[in-house]
Amino acid sequence: MLKKKIAILGSTGSIGKTLVNIIKKDKKNFQVILLTSKKNYKELLKQARFLKVKNLIITDYESYLQIKKYRFSKNIKIYNTFDEFKKIFKKKVDYTMSSITGIEGLKPTLDIIRYSKKIAIANKESIICGWGLINKELKKNKTKFIPVDSEHFSLWYGLINTEIDLIEKIYLTASGGPFYRTPLKKFKDVKIKQALKHPNWKMGKKISIDSATMINKIYEVIEAKNIFNIPYSKIEILVHPKSYVHAIIKLKNGLTKIIVHDTTMKIPIFNTLYNNTKKTLKSDKLKIDLLNNLKFNKVEYNRYPMIKILNYLSNKHSLYETIIVSANDALVDLYLKKKIKFVYQNKALGTGDAVLKTKKLITGSHFLILFPDDLILKKNCSKEMISLHKKFNCSVMASIKVNKKNVSRWGIFSKKKKISKKNFLINDVVEKPKQNEAPSNNAVIGRYILPVEIFKKLEIQNKGIGGEIHITDSIRKLIFNNFKFIGHNFAGKYLDCGTMSGYIKSSFEIAKLWNYAW
């Protein structure tokens, strides 16, 4: 019997290691063609030697240089990028596992589909941000797809031979993570080791933190909508602390399917590999005591505030989901590097408070700050501001001209002296003036080059009625202390992203601009 040919993207992560261990026990039936890792070259070499793999990709350049120093068979080829798939694959492999963590897993997932008869995707971010592209490639190359995530695998399995139109509602379960019973007042003191300690699952650091904040469930709802082509209105999250039930499918014919399995990713991974075979997996007996004590609860929004994001998602594809993933990737990275706390800011405290949080990250005399609630569809916006800063050795604030009827929504500049057609010295900034009191119609938008002296002003500034700190007040004090500020008018299309609905509308505008809509 011919051996099944296998490729594993991300073989040194938790999903990849589990798959490798399954293959090790049945080595005679598999030939692993490719293993990949980002940095863990020692584990990659260990896997390659045991499974006699001839092609390795390690994408971190320093790790690539290290692995090249090792003695190994001349038959093993080691590459530094995923651009070498053409050299590695002469024909389609039988099965590919895509388990690279984060958004960086999207491109290799897309590229390897054409070389795969069947692909199992564990990378949430790929399905969230690029499902339209993935689905297109799957159809084009006639590649079979199976989701690996325990909830989505359970749904996929439960929906075999079931029409999607027959679904009334699907329920995804969430354990609640390590802080399901932690008093809310203790959240500000949460340590990283506590956030990483999931009560039921053994997982990597990134997914463990995502589980603690429950943004992983936002991801899973988006994934379910994409994979099964069902609207958000038919998907609900239930907190189920025991993690024994993974999905519930309520059908319109009166039947309900409940998918149960132990809390190990070995089960879905094994079944994606051995799908449609008689291969068996030794597992625990059915846990009657758990079945007799199943508990399901609604999500507490005050405990998991990120879940509120689901209220603003559109059933259409947009770039909003990519914004969520990118922002979360950055925040988790900062948290694991101890740059921010678990509860970084539990309520809106103003732009000044947000800037103050960056103090320990700033070096030098000035810094550029971009607030995500304002977008200008024009190239080189920040470069223009930096050039002005260098030319005049001063602070710079971005502005746009607004309708005079709307000045009360903005901070408005008072001009002191015109420097050029677009630029002027600022005499004052008035926060949300009345129409008849506005000194101009030049509105402040969220792009600044500020002096580090702003931090001292922010630290002693009086707070608003809700405890908020407005940056405008501190900028005014610097102007009155003879700090030079230049206003720079932008003429590009402006997008207001200050609300959830604004984010969604803006993402559609960007999609049109890039011809990216699916």
User: Which residue from 137, 106, 132 is spatially nearest to 9, judged by alpha carbons?
Assistant: 106
* First CA to last CA distance, the chain: 42
Check if the beta carbon of residue 376 is closer than 8 Å to that of residue 491. Answer: no
Question: What gap in Å lies between CA 122 and CA 96, rounded to an integer?
Answer: 11
Question: What gap in Å lies between CA 10 and CA 39, rounded to an integer?
Answer: 10
Question: What gap in Å lies between CA 508 and CA 514, rounded to an integer?
Answer: 10
Q: State the alpha helices, DSSP H only, in 248-302.
A: 266-273, 288-291
Core vs surface per residue 104-131: b (16+ CB within 10 A) or e = ebbebbbebbebbbbbbbbbbbbbbbbb
User: Which residue from 251, 217, 213 is spatially nearest to 149, judged by alpha carbons?
Assistant: 217
* Residues 294-312 pLDDT 10s: 899 999 988 898 898 888 7
Query: How many residues are listed for the chain in this entry?
Result: 518
Cβ-proximal residues to 482 (8 Å cutoff; 6+ apart), any chain: none
For residue 517, what pLDDT is reported? 39
For residue 410, what pLDDT is reported? 81
Cα Dmax for the chain: 85
Region 445-454 average pLDDT: 92
* Run of H or E including 218: helix 215-228
Mean pLDDT computed over every residue of the chain: 88
Q: What are the residue ranges of CATH 3.40.50.720 in the chain?
A: 1-147
Question: What gap in Å lies between CA 191 and CA 195, rounded to an integer?
Answer: 7
Check if the beta carbon of residue 76 is closer than 8 Å to that of residue 45. Answer: no
Pairing relation of β-strands 395-401 and 485-489?
parallel
Check if the beta carbon of residue 478 is closer than 8 Å to that of residue 470. Answer: no
Residue 285 has φ and ψ, to the nearest 5°, of: -70, 160
Q: State the alpha helices, DSSP H only, in 39-142.
A: 41-51, 61-67, 85-88, 106-112, 124-141
* Residues 12-46 pLDDT 10s: 999 999 999 999 999 999 999 999 999 999 999 99
For residue 32, what pLDDT is reported? 97
What DSSP state is assigned to residue 480?
Answer: H
Burial class (CB in 10 A: 0-12, 13-18, 19+), 91: exposed
- What's at 393, amino acid-wise? N
The structure's pTM equals 0.72
Most confident of 77-81, 203-207, 460-464, 504-508: 77-81
* Residues 165-184 pLDDT 10s: 999 999 999 999 888 888 88
Does residue 401 surpass a pLDDT of 90?
no
Check if the beta carbon of residue 304 is closer than 8 Å to that of residue 213. Answer: yes
Core vs surface per residue 208-247: b (16+ CB within 10 A) or e = bbbbbbbbbbbbbbbbbbbbbebeeeebbbbbbbbbbbbb
Q: Considering the domain 1-147 in this protein, what is its CATH number?
A: 3.40.50.720
Question: What gap in Å lies between CA 157 and CA 180, rounded to an integer?
Answer: 29
Look at residue 275 and give its three-state secondary structure: coil
Most confident of 248-257, 295-304, 391-400, 408-417: 248-257
Residue 415 has φ and ψ, to the nearest 5°, of: -80, 140
| pLDDT classification of 330: cutoffs 50, 70, 90 | confident
Question: What gap in Å lies between CA 314 and CA 310, rounded to an integer?
Answer: 9
Distance, CA of 94 to chain centre: 30
Residue 89 to residues 38, 75, 207, Cα–Cα distance (Å): 20, 15, 31
Q: Which two tokens stand for residue 450?
A: 């500020």
| pLDDT classification of 511: cutoffs 50, 70, 90 | low
CATH architecture of the domain with residue range 347-514: Alpha-Beta Complex (3.90)
Question: What gap in Å lies between CA 122 and CA 9, rounded to an integer?
Answer: 10
Q: Which two tokens stand for residue 283?
A: 């597992």
Q: SS3 sequence, 418-477?
A: ECCCCEEEEEEEEECCCHHHCCCCEEEEEEEEEECCHHHHHHHCCCCCCCCCCHHHHHHH
Which of 200-204, 219-223, 401-405, 458-462 is predicted with the least confidence, judged by mean pLDDT?
A: 200-204
For residue 17, what pLDDT is reported? 96
CA dihedral angle for residue 182, residue 184, residue 188, residue 192, rounded to 10 degrees: 30
Check if the beta carbon of residue 365 is closer than 8 Å to that of residue 452. Answer: yes
Q: Which two tokens stand for residue 285?
A: 């007996």
User: Which residue from 439, 451, 449, 445 is spatially nearest to 483, judged by alpha carbons?
Assistant: 451
Question: What gap in Å lies between CA 364 and CA 435, rounded to an integer?
Answer: 39
Q: Which two tokens stand for residue 314?
A: 């559109």
For residue 317, what pLDDT is reported? 76
Pairing relation of β-strands 235-239 and 167-174?
parallel
